[in-house]
Amino acid sequence: MFKFSTFLLLILLFPISKIKSQVITKQVAQSENIQDYIPFNLDLSAPKFTQSPINFTKVLLDDIKNNITLERIAVKVETEYLNNDGQFKQSSNELIWSIYFEAPLANSLNITMKDLKLPKGALMYIFSMNTGKNMVHGPVTTNDIYDGYYATDIFNGQNIGVIVKMNVSQREEFRININSVNQGIPNQQNNRNYGSAGSCNYDVNCSIGSGWEDERDAVARMLIDGSFTCSGSLINNANEDFKPFFLTANHCLDNNPNFNTLVFRFKYESENPRCPGKSTGGEGDWFQLTGSYFRASHAPSDFSLVELKQQVKGIARLSMAGWSRSTTPATSGVSIHHPRGDAKKISDYNTTVQSDDNYTLSNGGNVVGDFHWVVDWNIGVTEGGSSGSPLFDQNHRIIGQLAGGNAGCGSSVQDDGYGRFHNSWTGGGTNATRLSNWLGGSSNPMTTNTVEVPYIDHDLGGSIYYCSGTEVFTLINTPPGRSVSWYVSPSNLFSTSGGHASSGSGNTATIAPANSSSSGFSAIYFTLSKPGFNDVVLSRFFWLGKPKRPITSPVNNSIEDRDLASSFNVSINTCEGVENGACNGVWSASGAISENNPSYVGPSQSYYADYQGLGTWSTYTTNVCGNSPTASGDINVKPPFNPGLQVIDVNNPVRDFVNLSVTSQKKNVSATSKFDLQIIDQNGNIQLSKSYLIGQNHQINVSNLISGMYYLRVANEGQVTTTKIFITK
């Protein structure tokens, strides 16, 4: 919003399906440990890059000179930080990539990314650790990435970090390019976020907002190119199919920003409403949706319409605002907006709006666009950053979006101009310049009403696992006129007796597993139907029961031959029903084989053939519901085809001395023939190297070696054999 008087003041899934959800940004109290909100270890030793200082005053003056009409919240700084600029650190089978940035003069930081690829099951968190303003955003998964782009919201303070957890085997799949690190306008230039709006504003949850809760839940703050802020609203369409259209002002987006990195912050509201006054106290847990497609815009009525890349149906406490393309002036109503990027505010009017094709500011300046509804405020005002916010009439329908005006705290004239919705409807006569093509459907109605976004409430809470017992799923916010039916899939996993069913009608579904061994990726679907309208389908995905038996190599129930004293690997190729798709097995061995890495939990295990005979390996995976069926296989340990040498009389375990005798199967072995002995630790380091006579008993002193497993390697005339010893002190 262009204000001459104030222009200088400026945060498991399953790989089978893309399961969408909003990504939460959490404010962490200073007394809390930020590590408690990230479910793996932070690597604070990762590289930290200090960003060059910015002359913020010059930037703001240049904005005036260049007639920039948006509320600047930060300065975009193009960068290129790639995989190798961060730090990889391995812990067991877990790989952590980390990078940090700081900008000592900035009030906030935000970043944009391109060419981003998160491997299946990987988790990304963005966080800041600033005195009193710690923040965590995440988890971000591959399901939240569209076309390789991702952008963060504003993080208060002077530092920001990015951390990604993946499996070691996925390192080559991970790609990142942090292509901008954007610095927030510092405090001495005036805050550009919480508490920034003038003290004459009213928080949206003040009493004047009573009855406007549904419209409140449609409005969001936009972050444009990491630098500018505007307001806007989710908007209903004639099909009422919850397609995520978002209405804002054309002048917010007329500089052709990267629509892939637009950030939409929802539910950003003060926890301690001021009526009026500057926002104080907690900011709540808002969430962001990232990325959009351009749909239409028209400068004369100053509108832009985008479509969010992420679906909004299924998200609690969101609404799609209704609209009216009537030419009859509204007699009362409100605007809901984010002045200066602050928490959501509300302003109301109780006099009839005026239609004006030549609306100007009190100082003679022009307001963007030609076709305006002009409103005089009764309570509250708008400010820079309110641009694009919806103007609602007395019937709770959008009739325009904010173009600009005179209103502001302390202003002698309190009116604003909104681009008229009915002019935007026909726009410039093409699909890219009008609303009718996107919002009208086949019926092309004069009005629609605000509808709350439907979502599924369930006993599982935030869990992705359903273990046992009865579960109740309830559809909340059924749109008027739609009937509801539901079913679960696959149906054979669920009971159809005892008051349970695998399908039905109505808003409530009560389900239960068919039996205690039911297991598999499952979903419940609610279908909302209305004659003449497309069905709306909502789904909730979950894993039922314990994991499936892992698929291994060698395969389950196999029998394979291995040479005595040889090592071999068993790997999990595929697993289902484990958190984040991580195929981490719990391994064991019995009989003639042993584990090279006892107690190791991961996707593979190395085994050793200890003695001639039959050995068995086994593994299973686990989730919160329990352990999977075990996969196992037998190993037939046999002597090498032509061992040449045999190691006999090795005492295990060993304390200070190894008793050793070596014989050879070769004929005519000389009484002075020797073998070469090496004792090698698990890291491949030779701890002892010496020669001894074949056919005699030897006592080798190993008292200087620490407890652990070692390899005893014997060689003679090109023939080699190896066995294991275990030293215990």
| Residue 29 confidence (pLDDT) | 63
Q: Are residues 321 and 209 in the same domain?
A: yes
Is 36 or 318 the better-scoring residue by pLDDT? 318
Is 283 or 275 the better-scoring residue by pLDDT? 275
The CATH number for 495's domain is 2.60.40
Q: Are residues 304 and 431 in the same domain?
A: yes
The 10s digit of each residue's pLDDT in 293-332 is 999 999 999 999 999 999 999 999 999 999 999 999 999 9
Helices and strands in the chain, H and E counts: 5, 59
- Tokens for 131, please give them: 């005195």
Query: Which structural domain, as residue segments, surrounds residue 598?
Result: 551-638
The CATH number for 328's domain is 2.40.10.10
CA dist 514 and 545 (Å) reads 11
| Residue 31 confidence (pLDDT) | 63
Q: Which residue has the tokens 């029903």?
A: 577
Q: Is residue 423 part of a domain?
A: yes
Q: Is residue 264 part of a domain?
A: no
Is 407 or 725 the better-scoring residue by pLDDT? 407
The DSSP annotation for 291-358 comes to: -EEEEEEETTTTEEEEEESS--TT-TT-EEBEEE---SPPSSEEEEE-GGG-S-EEEEE-S--EEESS
- The closest of 247, 220, 404 to 318, measured between CA atoms, is 220
The CATH number for 629's domain is 2.60.40.10
Q: Are residues 16 and 153 in the same domain?
A: yes
Final residue before a domain boundary, out of 582, 617, 638: 638
| Residue 299 confidence (pLDDT) | 97
* Partner residues linked to 323 by β-bridges: 398, 448
Confidence check: pLDDT of 21 > 70: no
The 10s digit of each residue's pLDDT in 664-694 is 766 566 767 888 889 988 777 889 999 998 8
CA dist 233 and 236 (Å) reads 10
The CATH number for 701's domain is 2.60.40.1930
CA dist 615 and 588 (Å) reads 11
Q: Are residues 442 and 537 in the same domain?
A: no
Q: Are residues 236 and 326 in the same domain?
A: yes
Q: Are residues 410 and 475 in the same domain?
A: no
| Residue 131 confidence (pLDDT) | 54
Q: Is residue 172 part of a domain?
A: yes
Confidence check: pLDDT of 12 > 50: no
Q: Is residue 266 part of a domain?
A: no
Q: Are residues 490 and 612 in the same domain?
A: no
| Residue 602 confidence (pLDDT) | 86
Percentage with pLDDT > 70 across the chain:
91
Confidence check: pLDDT of 92 > 90: no
Model confidence at 27, in pLDDT bands (50, 70, 90)? low
Amino acid at 720: V
Q: Which residue has the tokens 């291994």?
A: 552
Catalytic residues: 251, 302, 387
For 65, counting Cβ atoms within 10 Å of its Cβ (0-12 exposed, 13-18 middle, 19+ buried), the class is exposed
Q: How many domains does the chain have?
A: 5
Q: Is residue 674 part of a domain?
A: yes
Q: Are residues 178 and 50 in the same domain?
A: yes
Q: Is residue 617 part of a domain?
A: yes
- DSSP one-letter code for 91: E
Residues 500-505 have a mean pLDDT of 96
Final residue before a domain boundary, out of 495, 526, 544: 544
The 10s digit of each residue's pLDDT in 328-356 is 999 999 999 999 999 999 999 999 999 99
Q: Are residues 634 and 651 in the same domain?
A: no
The DSSP annotation for 454-514 comes to: PEEEETTTT-SEE-SS-EEEEEE-PPTT-EEEEEEESGGGB--STT--SEEESSEEEE-BS
Confidence check: pLDDT of 8 > 50: no
User: Residues in the chain, how many?
Assistant: 729
315-338: buried (b, 16+ CB within 10 Å) or exposed (e) per residue?
Answer: beebbbbbbbbeeebbebbbbbbb
3-state helix, strand, coil in the chain (%, to 5): 10, 45, 45
Q: Is residue 162 part of a domain?
A: yes
Confidence check: pLDDT of 583 > 80: yes
Judge contact between 286 and 217, C-beta under 8 A.
Answer: no
CA dist 322 and 319 (Å) reads 9
- Among 126-140, 245-259, 601-615, which stretch is predicted with the lowest mean pLDDT? 126-140
Amino acid at 174: F
Amino acid at 315: I
Which positions ≥6 away from 408 have C-beta within 8 Å? 3, 5, 6, 198, 381, 382, 383, 414
Amino acid at 406: N
Q: Are residues 442 and 507 in the same domain?
A: no
Percentage with pLDDT > 90 across the chain:
66
> What DSSP element (H or E) covers 547?
none
Which positions ≥6 away from 33 have C-beta within 8 Å? none
Q: Are residues 431 and 504 in the same domain?
A: no
Strand 674-681, strand 585-591: pairing? unpaired
Q: Where are the alpha helices (DSSP H) in 202-268?
A: 213-216, 250-253
| Residue 192 confidence (pLDDT) | 52
The 10s digit of each residue's pLDDT in 606-656 is 999 888 789 999 999 999 999 999 999 999 988 765 456 666 667 888 889
Final residue before a domain boundary, out of 593, 610, 638: 638
| Residue 4 confidence (pLDDT) | 29
Give the Å distances, CA to CA, from 515 to 72, 512, 544, 627: 59, 8, 11, 16
Q: Are residues 14 and 155 in the same domain?
A: yes
Amino acid at 538: L
Q: Is residue 288 part of a domain?
A: no
Confidence check: pLDDT of 93 > 80: no
Residues 133-149 have a mean pLDDT of 88
Confidence check: pLDDT of 176 > 80: yes
